[in-house]
Amino acid sequence: MTIEISRGITEATRNEMRELAARYPNPRSALLPMLHVVQSAQDEVTTEGIAACAEILEITQAEVTAVATFYTMYKFSPVGKHHIGVCINTMCGLLGGDAVYEKVAERLGATHNGPSADGNFWLERIECQAACTHAPVMTVDWEFMDDVTPESAVGVIDALAAGEEVWSTRGPKIRDFQATEHTLGMASDELATEGNSVDAKMLAGLMVAKGSNNS
């Protein structure tokens, strides 16, 4: 079943955008988080969202569009309930990232930077997730799913599709794309303290270095 998402920029959303603009000496510096707020409200960057950003920041719509089209994290089609990113860069690729991507793409009926067959997922091949320690890595709504295999990655998607509770391996419980986009824009939900932020594998190099310094 395809999900239904509200598309309007409400006055509440505009107020959040105004709040962001007021945080910076130069209001246009707020454009990146404002675009995340737009996606949290509309599931994509729309012409309405671009116009709202331009109006509040007192810049042209062309300037907003130039920024929004430069960064791949901003989408111009509905993302759906969850964004799935599979890293295929060197380390992840060597350890099976391409196989993970192919299996996930098959499961979703999706291609790179496009929606699943039912519109509930968005699939993206990621050049780097900055998480090589746990390669291969997949993200769900930008939360890490570490050390995945083709089978475990599809298992995560099956659980999400069934509405089951899924936790990231280093972070909070998976919510949905719009909720994560709101966090990226407003960053006021205190989720940074949820889940495990680091583990022994990530700290191995540091521990070796400390041991070398003590010898």
What is the pLDDT at residue 213?
64
| Main-chain dihedrals φ then ψ at residue 195, nearest 5 degrees | 75, -175
Enclosing H/E stretch for 121: strand 121-126
What is the pLDDT at residue 84?
98
CA distance 136 to 158: 19
DSSP class of residue 72 equals T
CB contact set of 155 (below 8 Å; sequence gap of 6+): none
Q: pLDDT by residue (tens digit) across 26-50? A: 999 999 999 999 999 999 999 999 9
Q: pLDDT by residue (tens digit) across 137-176? A: 999 999 999 999 999 999 999 999 999 999 999 889 999 9
Q: Cα 180 to the chain's mean position, in Å?
A: 7
| Main-chain dihedrals φ then ψ at residue 125, nearest 5 degrees | -80, 125
Determine the average pLDDT of the residues in 107-134: 95
pLDDT at 2 over 90: no
Packing angle between helix 11-22 and helix 47-57, nearest 10 degrees? 40
pLDDT band of residue 1 (cuts 50, 70, 90) is very low
pLDDT at 75 over 70: yes
Packing angle between helix 61-70 and helix 47-57, nearest 10 degrees? 120
User: Cis bond leading into 136, ω under 30°?
Assistant: yes
Domains and CATH numbers, the chain: 1-78+178-193 (1.10.10.1590), 82-175 (3.40.30.10)
pLDDT band of residue 214 (cuts 50, 70, 90) is low
What is the pLDDT at residue 192?
74
CA distance 74 to 15: 21
CB 84 within 8 A of CB 138: yes
Determine the average pLDDT of the residues in 78-99: 95
Q: pLDDT by residue (tens digit) across 165-213? A: 999 998 899 999 999 999 999 987 778 778 777 677 777 777 888 886 6
pTM, to two decimals: 0.88
Q: pLDDT by residue (tens digit) across 96-115? A: 999 999 999 999 999 999 99
What is the pLDDT at residue 203?
76
